[in-house]
Structures are given as structure tokens and as C-alpha cells.
Amino acid sequence: MQNVLVTGGAGFIGSNFIRYLLNHDNAAHIVNLDALTYAGTLENLRNLPDEGRHTFIQGDITDPDTLATVFADHAIDTVVHFAAETHVDRSITGPQRFIQTNVVGTMNLLDAARQAWQKPDGYTNGVRFHHISTDEVFGALAAGEPAFDEQTSYAPRSPYAASKAASDHLVRAYFHSFGLPVTITNCSNNYGPHQFPEKLIPLMILNAVEGNPLPLYGDGQQIRDWLYVEDHCEAIYCVLEKGAVGETYGVGGENQPTNQTIVETICDILDEWLPKASFGSRRSLIRYVSDRPGHDRRYAMNIEKIRKELGWQPREDLDSGLRKTIAWYLENSAWIESIRAKPDFQAWMEENYGHRSVLA
């Protein structure tokens, strides 16, 4: 693993992975390809460790010519594929973009890797295509059902989940049809530094700091498996180093509170750290709003395979991870200001929540 192409590396998980790789692998040079759509920002790449081993290229995975040039010019031997449209609500209002990026873009990337690496007698030694996916491809769990694992049948319930399911199938198809050396991870809900504030945890942190309403879908009893982003990055690196070609690994945080519990915990930590707010207890800011269409009730990820075969397990529990996350948002006002400058995010917040949130 010498020349690593990270797609979507200016986004939330991608930028965290770049930091992790630069800190933990002294030999890796990273080529970061990102289209800089609304959720990607160069602010996520400020003050990288050992910046000389990071090259940023603005480009789109839906453009085959760009991909061919990147592979040829940088002798790419490893792909870590994060680039995707990821927000379920946006996929419901505009699914076409999700199919174009998540399905067509992934196919283009697979084909670029195959053309660059395939030789008459096989593939260049040591190459690897790693695809980042989601537990949402498996659908929803009812109360009492066992957690998803690598054998769970696919049953996506949103355009986002369907587009990621399709990309997973394409990755496996390139392994079986062309022998492309691939691995896949299906992760649970990530949280942590640099997450775009349309997602639950950063949205609630930023609104609660300023005393703005905390919009909670439905009855707030939806359950997610929350994975601290640096734990996820460590899992991906572990799969790259030790994972078997052609295999899939589930990655989760083993934290499964309700959304209401998540929001209340954020409120309580902020009340502890920033007491005597003029609006009183931050729990009083919670507002229940209409549930979104097709909102899955519960996700949970079984991580026994990656724990037993590769020795990985999460380091952060929910309290420690949330405290690290809240501290980062409180300490990084410049990053928040950079997000404020994105007009499409502001418009989307107003359309979906009726106000422009703390970022207005």
C-alpha cells in the first residue's frame, strides 16, 4: 500500500481516514479525489499531519477520463472508496443524483481500477479495491431481531440504501467476473469531528449550543448503532492490512440507544459544560417533528466476524465518543463558519426544519 486513492476524501469519513492513514502508515502517499459537492470541503483537510504525503485533486468519479488519468499519473495501487451521496432525506427528494454518483460512479471506478491493474496473467501484486458501504442496505430490524451480519439478505428501503446496495453488488460482480481484488465494509451510523451538520448528532450539538430548537423525527424511538469515526477508520485500515480478498466485514460501534437518548445525552453534556444558559435545560429545546417517509425503525450491526478474524473492535463507548465529538465542535468555530457559507445547506435546513439552525 504505497499510492492510495481515497475518493470523497474531503468529506466527513474520508477526511478522518486520511488523517488516520497519515498518522499510522509512514509509507503511504494519498491521492484524494473529491468533487467538492455540498458536503465536501477543503476545510476538512486543514492542518493534515505530514501534508507532503497528501495530494488533492478536484474531480468526479462519474468522469471516466479523470479516473484513468489519476490511476496513470499516480501509479495507484490501493483504492479506498468513500465518495457517495449519503443523506437519506436528500435521496427521497432527489434520487437521481444518488444513482449517478453511487452506482454509475462506483462502476466507473471499478472499471478504471481493472484497466489499470489487470495484466495478461492476473493482477498487479498487492493491489486492493476497498468499498465503504452501509448497514442500511439490509433494511430495518424489528424489536428483538438479531443484528445484521455479513449473511443478512439485502432489503434497502430508501433510494440512498438502494443505491449503496447496487454499488455493493457491482463490487462483488467485479470480483467474481474479473477477479478484481476487492473488500467491502458495511458500517453503522458514524459520528465524530468534521461531520456535516445535516446529520443528527452535529445538528443537535450546534443547535443546542445556541438554544435553537432540536428537531426530532417522529417519537424519537428509532435505534441506530453509533460508530465513532476514528474507530471506523481503524477498522478500514485493519481490513486493508489483514482482510481476505473478496470478503465483506460488518463494522459497528456496539452503541444502540434511541435517537431521543442520543439527543438527551448531548443536552446533558452541554448543560454540564455550558451551564446557566438563558433558556434553561437544553432538553426543553427538543421538538418532535413529522417523521420522514419510510423511516427505518432500528439498525444494529454484528461485528463478530471482524473481531474474531481481524482482531478489531471499537475503542469508544457512547459517552466517551460523544464527549470527544462535542468538544471538537465547541473548539472549531472556523470550521462551522465555513459551513455557514454554503447556501444550498442553508436552503435545505429551512426547507426541512423551517429555520436555518445555528448556522444562519
77 is catalytic: no
Which pLDDT score, from 0 to 100, does residue 89 have? Answer: 79
Interaxial angle between packed helices 229-242 and 12-24, expressed in degrees from 0 to 180 and rounded to the nearest 10: 60
**Helix spans in the chain (H):** 12-24, 64-74, 88-93, 95-98, 106-117, 159-178, 200-210, 229-242, 259-273, 304-310, 318-331, 333-340, 343-353
Structure-block grid coordinates of residue 98: 444518488
Which pLDDT score, from 0 to 100, does residue 143 have? Answer: 82
Give per-residue burial for 344-360: e unless 16+ CB within 10 Å, then b: ebbebbeebbeeebbbe
136 is catalytic: yes
Q: How far is CA 351 from the centre of its chain?
A: 24
Query: Which domain range does residue 112 map to?
Result: 3-194+227-254+294-316
The CATH number covering residue 298 comes to 3.40.50.720
Handedness of CA 28, 29, 34, 36 (dihedral sign): positive
In a domain? residue 201? no
In a domain? residue 332? no
In a domain? residue 147? yes
Q: How far is CA 189 from the centre of its chain?
A: 8
- Between CA 187 and CA 167 the distance in angstroms is 14
228 is catalytic: no
Q: How far apart are the first and last CA of the chain?
A: 43
The total domain count for the chain is: 1
Catalytic residue among 60, 77, 85, 136: 136
In a domain? residue 110? yes
Catalytic residue among 20, 123, 160, 329: 160
Cβ–Cβ contacts within 10 Å for residue 314, how many? 22
Which pLDDT score, from 0 to 100, does residue 359 have? Answer: 36
Which pLDDT score, from 0 to 100, does residue 346 have? Answer: 65
Which pLDDT score, from 0 to 100, does residue 358 have? Answer: 40
Which pLDDT score, from 0 to 100, does residue 350 have? Answer: 64
pLDDT in tens, 129-186: 999 999 999 999 988 899 999 999 999 999 999 999 999 999 999 999 999 999 999 9
**φ, ψ at 303 (rounded to 5°):** -110, 20
Q: Give this prediction's pTM.
A: 0.93
- Between CA 318 and CA 326 the distance in angstroms is 12
- Between CA 262 and CA 227 the distance in angstroms is 13
Q: Which residues of the chain have pLDDT under 50?
A: 355-360
Interaxial angle between packed helices 318-331 and 259-273, expressed in degrees from 0 to 180 and rounded to the nearest 10: 60
Structure-block grid coordinates of residue 161: 440504501
In a domain? residue 207? no
- Vertex 192 angle, CA 187 and 194, to 5°: 110
In a domain? residue 341? no
- Between CA 328 and CA 165 the distance in angstroms is 32
In a domain? residue 45? yes
Report the DSSP pairing between strands 54-58 and 29-34. parallel
Catalytic residue among 34, 135, 225, 316: 135
In a domain? residue 286? no
Q: For residue 293, give Cα distances in angstroms to 65, 90, 160, 197, 232.
A: 38, 12, 13, 21, 29
